[in-house]
Structure 1
Amino acid sequence: MVEKGFGLYIHWPFCTRICPYCDFNIYKDRGADTAKWTDAFISEINHWAVQTPGRRLTSIYFGGGTPSLAAPELVHTVINAARSAWPTNDNIEITLEANPTDAEQARFSAFHGSGVNRLSLGIQSFDDTALQFLGRNHTGHEARYALDLALKIFGNVTFDLIYALPDQTEEAWQSSLRKALSIGAPHLSAYQLTIEPGTAFEKAVERGTFAPADDDHGAALYDITQSEAERAGRPRYEISNHASPGFESRHNLTYWRGGDYIGIGPGAHGRVTIDGTRRATETHRAPQKYLTAVNDHGHGICLDDPLSRDDVFAEKLTMGLRMQEGVSLSQLEFAQLADRIKVLQADGFIEINGPHLSASAAGQRILNSLLSTLLI
């Protein structure tokens, strides 16, 4: 039996600078060899095509890093290789992440011509002071120009914002968010600033340079985000993601709904079902080690582990409860959690609609604690 469709994630690991809040697998761009990286990505696509014959590819996502630093011809060649390796729909979603500093009409048009039909802009803020704090190398004016250009060329555009910055008031965030939503992009991802281990911001907090927002203030800003996005016609469909109806990220919905996705490129993760077993995969993180592995073996995989039924269930809950629609559970799964669900429902944190379990608005605010309670 042919498995359901799947997404393809392609990790471009290079950035012009390392942002102080970022803990992704990224490296300073020192002039990547387009031919080598193109060949490596195609080798991995061919490897996975043999493992997943006949599967339908439903989305492609170029993430990073900053994949808009890659040559448009690399993107074009890799897209064609993927579409040759697997059956696809005519309306397959193909997303590329970009920085505002790469916003040139010729470059964006070249990416669009290569097959990219959805652009994700790493804007983070339209305020120059906030951008300087976040270590970004664009201005608010450049961010607005990039978003306007992307909307003109792609139409289907999303952008990121970061909130809960030091000393950011509720009024300031509300005003900033309203202006951002008024621009008209159909999708927005809004993330609360978190201090990740190993980042420059972690060291800054340890030195006392600044203090992160407390939980109550963060929750208040989160509530403002929900109400303003809803008012602007981009309701929340996932804890940090808002979209006009029909513009939800199909690729990310594959993650959150527990679907299969293949990850290629340095440090990319995947979840792939082969012969009825769901497997967790990961590639070598260091770019040169990854390239060497692909050259030697045809792939960069360094981890390929079968997931137990408990592992799959835990991931299903963890990802599914992030979504407004929640997660569909079998009778057996409901029975397994019955006592805990009953308590959380009585406390107003969980809602049940037929086979669907979802986190209420109150539950979304404490999602990590809620999941800990369900999965103990």
Structure 2
Amino acid sequence: MRPPLALYVHWPFCVTKCPYCDFNSHVRAGVDEAAWTAALLADLAHEAALLPGHRLTSIFFGGGTPSLMPTATVAALIDAACRYWPADPDIEITLEANPSSVEAARFAGFAAAGVNRLSLGVQALDDAALKLLGRPHDLAQGLAALDVAQAQFPRVSFDLIYDRPGMTEPLWEAELARALAFGTDHLSLYQLTIEPGTRFAALHAKGQIILPDADTSANLFALTRQMTAAAGFAAYETSNHARLGAESRHNIAYWTYSDYVGIGPGAHGRRLGRASERLKKPEPWLAQIRELGHGIATDPALTPTERATEALVMGLRLAAGINREWFHHQTGTPLESATDGTRIAALVAAGLIEATPTYLRLTPPGQPLVDAILREIAA
């Protein structure tokens, strides 16, 4: 059986830069669509030449705002990828979208191109919150786009950001209840974080943005778990909730440390024991494609320690945790060698981690503390 492979395609352009966003996104007055299509296809061909004989399980168009991509570009990339690698009969092809009316009008074209899962950046069900978050759509546009998406795609997910300034448990309870009633099979629910270098970071430093306190944040996280579970959405990862069988197969490839290819500006990949990273800025990436035929900035081999650390960081976010046998197979390192046993024992005693001969996973009280726990246990 051919080894599985996931493909990530990064479209770096947005209409505006959201003040909380630290992703590799850029605002440009215009984009040469023909040049970008050719460049992405060249970057893809370079990776395909390195990885013959794999089996393609998923494609994910992320950004930036990939719903700004020409539908013909999306179709060309899907066709090329499926020529290079035999695709699973039920391959998952996801495209991230913003809910503006212009982008929603393209949904039928994306579906015709082969996209079968849409991830919609609704982000809030409140106009004041959307304005605070700097979103270029209002609630009416968000709900209209969701209706169009559900009519066009067999699988639809949407994102919400909670733990926003001024948010209380009753406010989030009402918003989440409304979200759960829309009938999608997947929700990504993220607590707002202040990322360095963003406009929110500057405002937060000046005291102009104040997030809920730690106790409120913990209560909001617990409320999220309680309500999604009651509605039949399992929290299969720290921030991702799905009905049975509707989990994002592409993202699970990351979290289980499977091989994946990343093309486009700033895209990362993990394949053949190496960590590829593309040039981040769109213009230098495009120039290097023309010169060298690929956009790779760095492509170092990963040491066993690096592989083990990455697999630990990704795998512990899953509700199922880390299977010890799987970890050893994926990284070549026993889980015991990648973790601090004394600290794990202390966290087990504190009720934050479960450790058995088969697996290591966070308990429900430990799940909202995943980042802090990872800092504690990494050897």
Q: TM-score range by the shorter chain?
A: over 0.9
CA drift of 1:3 comes to 6.2
Q: Which residue of 2 aligns with 1:341?
A: 344
| Counterpart AA for 1:343 | A
Give the Cα separation in 2 of the matches to 1:78 and 1:102.
Answer: 24
Give the alignment partner of residue 352 of structure 1, picking from 355, 362, 369.
Answer: 355
**1:51 and 2:54 matched:** no
Name the SS of the counterpart of 1:194 in structure 2. coil
CA drift of 1:218 comes to 1.1
The question of whether the paired residues in 2 share the 8 Å contact of 1:195 and 1:212 is answered with no
Q: Which residue of 2 aligns with 1:155?
A: 154
Q: 1:105 to 1:169 in 2, by over 3 A?
A: closer
Runs of 4 or more above 4 Å deviation: 102-106
For residues 228-273 of structure 1, the C-alpha deviation after alignment (integer angstroms, 9 at most, x for no partner) is 1111111100000000011100000000001111110001111112
Name the SS of the counterpart of 1:76 in structure 2. helix
CA drift of 1:333 comes to 2.5
The question of whether the paired residues in 1 share the 8 Å contact of 2:268 and 2:275 is answered with yes
The question of whether the paired residues in 2 share the 8 Å contact of 1:7 and 1:260 is answered with yes
| Counterpart AA for 1:346 | A
Give the Cα separation in 2 of the matches to 1:351 and 1:102.
Answer: 47
| Counterpart AA for 1:347 | A
The question of whether the paired residues in 1 share the 8 Å contact of 2:101 and 2:141 is answered with no
Give the alignment partner of residue 368 of structure 1, picking from 361, 371, 374.
Answer: 371
Name the SS of the counterpart of 1:368 in structure 2. helix
Q: Which residue of 2 aligns with 1:190?
A: 189
The question of whether the paired residues in 2 share the 8 Å contact of 1:100 and 1:122 is answered with yes
The question of whether the paired residues in 2 share the 8 Å contact of 1:126 and 1:141 is answered with no
Q: Which residue of 1 aligns with 2:317?
A: 322
The question of whether the paired residues in 1 share the 8 Å contact of 2:322 and 2:359 is answered with yes
Matches within 5 A, 1:66-77: 66-77=65-76
Q: Which residue of 2 aligns with 1:62?
A: 61
**1:310 and 2:305 matched:** yes
CA drift of 1:141 comes to 1.5
The question of whether the paired residues in 2 share the 8 Å contact of 1:103 and 1:149 is answered with no
Name the SS of the counterpart of 2:300 in structure 1. strand
Cα RMSD between the aligned structures? 1.5
Give the Cα separation in 1 of the matches to 2:323 and 2:5.
Answer: 19
CA drift of 1:158 comes to 0.6
For residues 333-375 of structure 1, the C-alpha deviation after alignment (integer angstroms, 9 at most, x for no partner) is 3443433322221211111354211111111121112111111
| Counterpart AA for 2:318 | M
* Aligned residue pair count: 371
Give the Cα separation in 1 of the matches to 2:205 and 2:319.
Answer: 36
Matches within 5 A, 1:14-163: 14-102=13-101, 106-163=105-162
Q: Structure 1: 5+ residue runs without aligned partners?
A: none
The question of whether the paired residues in 1 share the 8 Å contact of 2:67 and 2:103 is answered with no
Q: Which residue of 2 aligns with 1:294?
A: 289
| Counterpart AA for 1:333 | P
Give the Cα separation in 2 of the matches to 1:355 and 1:81.
Answer: 40
Name the SS of the counterpart of 1:92 in structure 2. strand
CA drift of 1:78 comes to 0.9
Give the Cα separation in 2 of the matches to 1:206 and 1:32.
Answer: 35
Comparing 205-214 with 331-340, greater Cα deviation is found at 331-340
Q: Structure 2: 5+ residue runs without aligned partners?
A: none
Give the Cα separation in 1 of the matches to 2:138 and 2:368.
Answer: 31
TM-score by length of 2: 0.95
For residues 178-202 of structure 1, the C-alpha deviation after alignment (integer angstroms, 9 at most, x for no partner) is 0011101100001011011111111
| Counterpart AA for 1:372 | R
Give the Cα separation in 1 of the matches to 2:234 and 2:102.
Answer: 27
**1:270 and 2:269 matched:** yes
For residues 113-148 of structure 1, the C-alpha deviation after alignment (integer angstroms, 9 at most, x for no partner) is 001000010000010010010011111111111111
Give the Cα separation in 2 of the matches to 1:38 and 1:180.
Answer: 35
CA drift of 1:103 comes to 6.0
Comparing 203-212 with 35-44, greater Cα deviation is found at 203-212
Name the SS of the counterpart of 2:106 in structure 1. helix
For residues 24-65 of structure 1, the C-alpha deviation after alignment (integer angstroms, 9 at most, x for no partner) is 111113221111111111111111111001111111000001
Q: 1:48 to 1:12 in 2, by over 3 A?
A: same
Give the Cα separation in 2 of the matches to 1:216 and 1:3.
Answer: 48
